[in-house]
Structure 1
Amino acid sequence: MRARAEALRPSTLKAVFFVFASLCAWYSGYLLAELIPDVHLSSAVYSIQSIGKKPVLKAPTPKRQKCDHWSPCPADTYAYRLLSGGGRDKYAKICFEDEMLIGEKTGNVARGINIAIVNWSQPQLTEKVLNLMYIDPADNSGPMTKFIQNAPSKSLLFMVTHDDGSSRLKEDAKQVIEALGSTEIRNMRFRSSWVFVAAKGFELPAGIQREKINHSNDAKNRYSGWPAEIQVEGCIPKGPS
């Protein structure tokens, strides 16, 4: 009997140890279940699969600025952007304070020199644009001269070409544009791309980009012999109200 009892003692101890270990394991699992929040299995699998992968950084979508500027103009300035025509189907555009003054969508752009005149002192008025004109200088060099001369004082004048703006451009028209500060009007050739910002009755700041011209009409370029479009853009200080 004694030998049999001694033989059963190790088995009993093992059984007790097994029961104790099972209780500990159950209790540990219970604590983990209480402490860890519920997570869907798919999310857990995705998290495991994502370990070691490089994080993907997404840049925020840039905020659109007035007249499609890359950076905003200061609060005390007006935004402008002038784009000449390029080829047969790239029409000229004049944008001021995010309003398209001249362009294909507004239906008021044509062959020649396109001009918009804006009241510098009060462009916030409903009638922001004092006048618009698209002029083929082959027929309207004289009217264009009068149009510019009749622009009131404290006016901004924006000029862009589409197709050709130089054919038979008369001397009086060249002189009136030259008097506004253009240095390229006498350099225009057939179908030259040209943009010009001018002021009447006040001086624009020296740092403002005002004029650009492009004569390139290489047959190998993207418009097959037509000069490519060019543009100027910037911020003009607001005038006195």
Structure 2
Amino acid sequence: MKGRQGLRRLVLLVVVLAAVVACVLVVLRQSSYILDVDDPPSSTQSRVKDVAPSVGPCRGGPSCPDGHFSFRILSGAANVVSPTICLEDKLVLGSMMNNAGSGINIVVLNGKTGQVGKTGYFNMYDGDVKVLIDFLQAVEQGSVLLMASYDDPANKLNDEARSLISDLGSSSIKVLGYRDSWVFVGGKGSGKKSNFEKHIKSDAEKNKYEGWPEMVELEGCIPKFLE
């Protein structure tokens, strides 16, 4: 009897140690990743350098032909999980980079080189929409913009802001509403409607979360901007 109890205790000890080792490895991996990013950005814009390939939502992105950039976007989930934007299997916006927040999250990409420039998040619940408008107007021609909603992307949107995003190729921005889930990729100066957009309306009878619809995911291959 004592021999069996001792064996059980030994097995339990091995299981606990294995779990502890696994947790430590996860923490170390996340710590080494976090140390490879820039200083925390402001809520409106920042410069982002290349980072190591992500082991999370950025892994296994689409395989794209030459002359294209692969991307993956996940909108926020309710007001709990922040959005994620990946480029070439690398995280460029998200909670781990401390550059995501409530409202509309944006990554600006050089359409020719694929280099990430500015990122920003803009509070559209009770923030100042002019900050978003100024940001969009300052974006250079030939840039690609990747956008994702979090919490509420639309309460403070006005006609001017909607028009600027519509000019980037968005079809849903005209009807984007309170607490909708939305992701979008567009180009400044392309003059075309984008094929990269998903939108789920917030509906009290259909929402997956209390007060919010389900998150939306979008991935694909962005062609290089050609003059």
Per the normalisation by structure 1, the TM-score is: 0.64
Match of residue 108 from structure 1? 99
Bigger share in helix: 1
The partner residue of 1:154 within 121, 125, 142 is 142
Structure 1, unaligned runs of 5 or more? 1-63
Aligned partner of 2:186: which letter? A
Deviation at 1:168? 1.9
C-alpha deviation, 1:69, in angstroms: 4.4
Structure (1 or 2) with the larger CA radius of gyration: 1
Report the count of equivalent residues: 171
**Does the C-alpha gap of structure 1 residues 153 and 221 become closer, same or farther in structure 2, counting only changes over 3 Å?**
closer
* Matched-pair identity in %: 34
1:42-191 maps to which residues of 2 (within 5 A)? 67-69=58-60, 71-123=62-114, 128-137=115-124, 138-191=126-179
Q: Deviation digits for residues 132-163 of structure 1, max 9, x if unmatched?
A: 11001232211111111111111000111100
Kindly tell me: are residues 186 and 239 of structure 1, through their superposed partners in 2, closer, same or farther at Cα, counting changes over 3 Å? closer
RMSD: 2.5
How far the C-alpha of 1:188 sits from its partner, in A, is 1.5
**Amino acid of the residue matched to residue 133 of structure 2?**
T
Determine helix, strand or coil for the equivalent of 1:196: strand
Distance 1:143 1:168 in 2: 11
Match of residue 24 from structure 1 = none
User: Hey, what's the Cα distance between the residues in 2 that align with 1:215 and 1:77?
Assistant: 30
Q: Distance in 1 between matches of 2:167 and 2:224?
A: 23
Tell me if the contact between 1:217 and 1:224 (Cα under 8 Å) persists in the aligned partners. Answer: no
Q: Partners of 1:210 and 1:202 in 2: how far apart?
A: 14
Report the Cα distance in structure 2 between the residues aligned to 1:174 and 1:149, rounded to whole angstroms.
12
The letter for the 1-side match of 2:155 is S
For residues 203 and 80 of structure 1, do their structure 2 counterparts lie closer, same or farther at Cα, with a shift above 3 Å needed?
farther
Per-residue CA deviation, residues 175-212 of structure 1 (Å, 9 max, x unaligned), is 111111211112112100011111013367x8x73111
- Counterparts of 2:58 and 2:225, CA distance in 1: 19
